A and B are shown apart, each in its own frame.
Chain A
Amino acid sequence: MARDRDLVEAAQRGDQAAFVDLVRLTGDRLFAIAYRILRDVDRTEDALQDALVIAWRDLRGLRDPDRFDAWMNRVVTNVCIANATRERRRTVKLRVLPVEGPAGPDDLLGVGDRDQLERGFRRLTPDERAILVLHHYAGYTLAEIAETLGAPAGTVRSRLHHAHRAMRAALDAEARTSTVGGRSA
């Protein structure tokens, strides 16, 4: 941790190599979060690069170097939300086609479930996607998500609730389809 703090302080003084070292230390986690919000590797790479450049530019505004990780999460999440918002406007009429193929080894999630989860997730607003990922993947509490997004905790709770409802509806739709398919077969 002390080493991380040293790196952050060096980067704040303009040491580019120190910043790159920080990126190496935190990059995988940030990439994983960004990918799960954006659901596309190319867009994730672009968004992450943008976020890292913004972080470098604004790093001197970080008053507590020990908060670097949380601060980076905030920068990356906000860039991803902005990216997803732009993309959503462009692809709002895009229809996701059902995936055909055998189920994976995980008996909890079938191919149909994955497809429906993907559809349900893409129907969420970018904020709701980020909240879902931060909560379920990064393990953030509602208070931590609220701080990351700069939104009231009540708003975060309500958006998470809406996201859960949408994902549940997607899964239940898949269950109904499977049942009907089973009966007709």
Chain B
Amino acid sequence: MTDDRELSLIIDRWLEEGPVEMPDRVIDTTAVRISRQRQQPAWRLDWRHLTMNTTYKITAAIAAIAIIGLIGYNLLPGRSTGVGGPGPTASPTASPSVAISEVTIVDPAGAGSDIPAAVRGTYSEGDWNALPVGDDRYSWQLLPAGDTKCVELVHLTTSCIVITRQPSDIEQYGPAAVVGDLIYYKMIIHNFQTDPCLNQVSVWRFSVLTDRLTMQQLDPGCRNSLDDAGFLLRTNP
């Protein structure tokens, strides 16, 4: 039986064996790769640290649940005060040819992954806000927050998101729903300016590798989605 001291000595000795010098080709390759890699701005990294805070996640999840509940409530068929005509439809300009389908909400955080908890509820897909842009599908939902100067923008997409340069304006992000084999991500941007020129933005791509959420800055990959958002905000106040 190997005792503790002897075991430590053996492991120490065993780990001493093996290469200890980094080959020059690692430096050469790294130099080439970093010449093509932009550095993240410090605020972006601060925001990432902020998202690790459990309190923040819980608060964001609660807020998002409340908003989704509001959306779901407004989309309920036949919702009406019982006075006058039929209640407002969820899609004022909806085309009869476009069906609204409910999708399943997933909660990948349930297994202890790093991904923020998804919102429970239902989403609508393919409504009047859905815009095909490139190979990605976008769905925009606008939520007046009681103040027309302070609209909230909910961005639901399979791959690209748009964020402002003020981290405090971002309420929640994370996987929201699964439609077929597409995973939708959702975030809410407060203080979204109706003039797209006023939105200092950067665009990021989400991807999920096993249980980790990774982000890649795209500039200007999906920049046109801003114009879409601005157009929708202007034409659908």
Contacts and interface: CB of A to CB of B under 8 A. Distances in A.
Q: Do A and B come from one complex?
A: yes
Interface of A: 12, 14, 16, 19-20, 23-24, 27-28, 30-32, 35-36, 41, 45, 48-49, 52-53, 56-61, 82, 85-86, 106, 108-109, 113-114, 117, 132-133, 136-137, 164, 167-168, 171-172, 175
B15 A137 contact: yes
Contacts of A45: 23, 25-26
Nearest to B1: A172
B20 interface: yes
B180 interface: no
Contact of B10 (A53, A113, A133, A137): A113
A86 B49 CA distance: 25
Contacts of A85: 210
Interface of B: 1-2, 4, 7-23, 25-27, 29-31, 33-35, 37-42, 45-46, 48-49, 210, 212
B213 to A, nearest CB: 13
Contacts of A16: 31, 34-35
B40 A58 contact: yes
Given A16-B35, A49-B33, A171-B7, A32 B27 contact: no
A36 B13 contact: no
A53 B37 contact: yes
B37 A136 contact: no
Contacts of A28: 20-22
B27 A31 contact: no
B27 A59 contact: no
A61 B9 CA distance: 38
B29 A58 contact: no
A61 B2 CA distance: 45
Contacts, number: 115
A164 B15 CA distance: 14
Contacts of B23: 31, 45
A28 B23 CA distance: 8
A132 B20 CA distance: 17
Most buried by B among A86, A113, A171: A171
Contacts of B33: 49, 52-53
Given A35-B18, A168-B7, 7 more contacts: A28-B22, A49-B33, A59-B39, A61-B49, A132-B11, A137-B15, A172-B1
User: 10 closest pairs, A vs B, by CB?
Assistant: A61-B45, A31-B22, A27-B22, A137-B15, A60-B42, A56-B34, A32-B20, A52-B30, A136-B11, A53-B33
Nearest to B9: A108
A136 B12 contact: yes
Nearest to B46: A61
A36 B18 contact: yes
A36 B15 contact: yes
Contacts of A27: 22, 26-27
B49 to A, nearest CB: 8
Contacts of A52: 26, 30, 33-34
A167 B7 contact: yes
20 contacts: A19-B34, A28-B22, A32-B18, A49-B33, A52-B26, A53-B30, A56-B39, A57-B38, A57-B39, A58-B39, A59-B39, A60-B42, A61-B48, A109-B10, A113-B10, A137-B12, A137-B16, A164-B7, A171-B10, A172-B2
